Amino acid sequence: MTSTFTPDTDVVVVGAGFAGLYALHKLRDKMKMTVRTFEAGADVGGTWFWNRYPGARCDIESVHYSYSFDEDLQQEWQWSEKFAGQPEILRYLEHVADRFDLRKDITFNTRVISVHWNDDESLWDVTTDSGEVVRSRFFISGAGNLSVPKTPEFGGIENFEGTVLMTGNWPQDGFDFTDKRVAVIGAGASGIQAIPLIAERAAHLTVFQRTPNFATPLGNGPIDPDEVSRIKSKYPQVRDAARNHFLGVPFDQIQPSALTVDAEERRRTFDERWNAGGFRLFIDSYQDILFDKDANDTIAEYIRDRIRERVADPVVAEKLAPKGYAYGTKRPPLETNYYEAYNRDTVTLIDVKDTPVRAITETGVQVGDDVHEADVIVLATGFDAMTGPLMAMDIRGRYGQRLADSWSGGPRTYLGLMVHDFPNLFLITGPQSPSVLYNMPLAIEDHVDFATEAISYLCQQGLDVIEPRLHAQDQWVATTNDIASQTLLPQTNSWYMGANIPGKPRACMVYLAGAPAYREACEDVVARGYAGFALERANNRALTASS
């Protein structure tokens, strides 16, 4: 065996969020493989490390938005609220890191800057910004879907004399808005969580909104101990029910059609779901709202009416009431006191749909010829979602082919997990999997389990390389697009479609047949001996691995 063919490690994992932490634990502790994990941040947490803006919290109940892989872990952890806030979710992930002693195998403050496949040696050469090169048999990306903040279209940020904050990269020690003149640009899920809390402290808050959202009540509160006991007494069954639901939560009240019931009954259903909070209204009311425009109109009009009831000034209410796109075709934000924030004298809403933000000046935000002065500007402008974190790693597969070139017309994956010409590279919750329309910790566990079981299978067969066949990938992309075209999602400009980033190819990033259908498809592939994948020996098989 020549030394050049010897990997430094079995697996490189990127990221120390939900995905990276579970992948490291599974590979190292359950499979006894050697693993190097790199994380750009200073500690574990991923999303919940970076997004420390006021009001940041999950939109899926914490008893469900949490790991299921370890019964002791899920029994011992106590959530204090129904929907935990960012500090509590971060504490949970820190607890997971401590409990499984994960930090010792994570290199923090280190960014992976290139990932190149070496065809001769069937290894990945992974380079970090500290100059280290690690040669690895497998590469698992837990780099996240929402971890690269969008670069805004407007310029001049460097000229601003005040403070610029980004929701997706918030100061570790927080920020005190007391008596400040604050400008928030963006009214998506992050802005909608932050605005009411910033409004409580700021001397004045100006919100720059391009597209209003269908935000509905979160319904948060202290967690009910009886409900928790009930769930914990049968957690495995609760998780099974969650996994067998479109969104990965154990909802069971959905009705077939908003159009086959009369207006009174529909209103009753919407009211019940509205009052229950969370995604009940979106995912547990009527099955056809994501498919049928007429059905969608009924719920969209309901939400617009509820917004109008809460905003005192009818002109402001109309600006906040979304029109021109279907409910649910952007991820519906969940809110607490969002609309009431606009009833304060100290909050101004500026509609920048027709007259966009032109620039940031030394003193504030310029819209048309007007400059709205501010001491602090908060960019709540979203992320280069799904593909952004992968593109940022300069991934090159066989023949030096860049992932950026392979995906120049939009992402192409098999099962959202692997890519033709990029062998032994696993994407955790990659494009064309249910990912962001599935309770993410469960989606992550499913993907890490698929990747690690594929690796085990390879090793058992005395093989080294797994890669999707082109025809299987083409078929999967076609199926994903076909399913998307049966829904209302492609008609809306959202990050699900890549439409929030100028110049990004428009393509549906999500497998929309739901988590259960997706899991069935993956299970079928495995049952048929990894159908659609080529499983091979390395070109020159002198690899060593601890597995």
DSSP, collapsed to helix, strand or coil, labels residue 517 as: helix
Is residue 11 involved in binding ligand FAD (CB under 6 A)?
no
Q: Which secondary structure element, helix H or strand E, spans residue 228, and what is its range?
A: helix 225-232
Neighbours of 88 (CB within 10 A): 17
- The residue (of 187 and 543) whose beta carbon lies closer to ligand NAP is 187
CA pseudo-torsion sign 131, 137, 139, 140: negative
Is residue 13 involved in binding ligand FAD (CB under 6 A)?
no
Helices (H), 39-183: 47-50, 71-76, 86-99
- In the list ligand FAD, ligand NAP, none, the entry touching 185 (Cβ below 5 to 8 angstroms by class) is ligand NAP
Is residue 170 involved in binding ligand NAP (CB under 6 A)?
no
Within positions 67 to 126, which residues make up the interface with ligand NAP, using CB under 6 A? none
Is residue 336 involved in binding ligand NAP (CB under 6 A)?
no
Q: Which secondary structure element, helix H or strand E, spans residue 211, and what is its range?
A: none
Binding mask 282-321 vs ligand NAP (x if CB under 6 A, - otherwise)? ----------------------------------------
- In the list ligand FAD, ligand NAP, none, the entry touching 19 (Cβ below 5 to 8 angstroms by class) is ligand FAD
Residue from 136, 100, 99, 131 nearest 117 by CA: 136
Helices (H), 78-129: 86-99
Is residue 432 involved in binding ligand FAD (CB under 6 A)?
no
Whether 403 contacts 235, CB under 8 Å: no
Q: How far is the CB of 488 from ligand NAP (least distance, A)?
A: 16
Is residue 289 involved in binding ligand FAD (CB under 6 A)?
no
- In the list ligand FAD, ligand NAP, none, the entry touching 430 (Cβ below 5 to 8 angstroms by class) is none
Whether 214 contacts 332, CB under 8 Å: yes
Q: Which secondary structure element, helix H or strand E, spans residue 208, and what is its range?
A: strand 204-209
Applying CB under 6 A, among 38, 79, 117, 208 the residue interacting with ligand NAP is 208
Bridge partners for 536 per DSSP: 465
Applying CB under 6 A, among 96, 357, 417, 488 the residue interacting with ligand NAP is 357
DSSP, collapsed to helix, strand or coil, labels residue 352 as: coil
Applying CB under 6 A, among 9, 128, 193, 435 the residue interacting with ligand NAP is 193
- The residue (of 231 and 428) whose beta carbon lies closer to ligand FAD is 428
Is residue 186 involved in binding ligand NAP (CB under 6 A)?
yes
DSSP symbols for 397-444:
-GGG-BHHHHTTTS---BTTTBBTTBTTEEETT-TTBSGGGS-HHHHH
Q: How far is the CB of 229 from ligand NAP (least distance, A)?
A: 26
Whether 346 contacts 203, CB under 8 Å: yes
- In the list ligand FAD, ligand NAP, none, the entry touching 46 (Cβ below 5 to 8 angstroms by class) is ligand FAD
DSSP state of 383: B
User: Cα(74)–Cα(66) distance, rounded to whole angstroms?
Assistant: 8
What are the two backbone dihedrals, phi and then psi, of residue 444, each rounded to the nearest 5 degrees? -65, -45
- Span interacting with ligand NAP, options 16-24, 93-101, 231-239, 377-385, rule CB under 6 A: 377-385
Q: How far is the CB of 500 from ligand FAD (least distance, A)?
A: 13
Within positions 17 to 46, which residues make up the interface with ligand FAD, using CB under 6 A? 17-20, 38-41, 46
* Binding stretches for ligand NAP (CB under 6 A): 58-59, 146, 152-154, 167, 185-191, 193, 208, 210-211, 331, 334, 352, 356-357, 380-383, 436, 495, 500
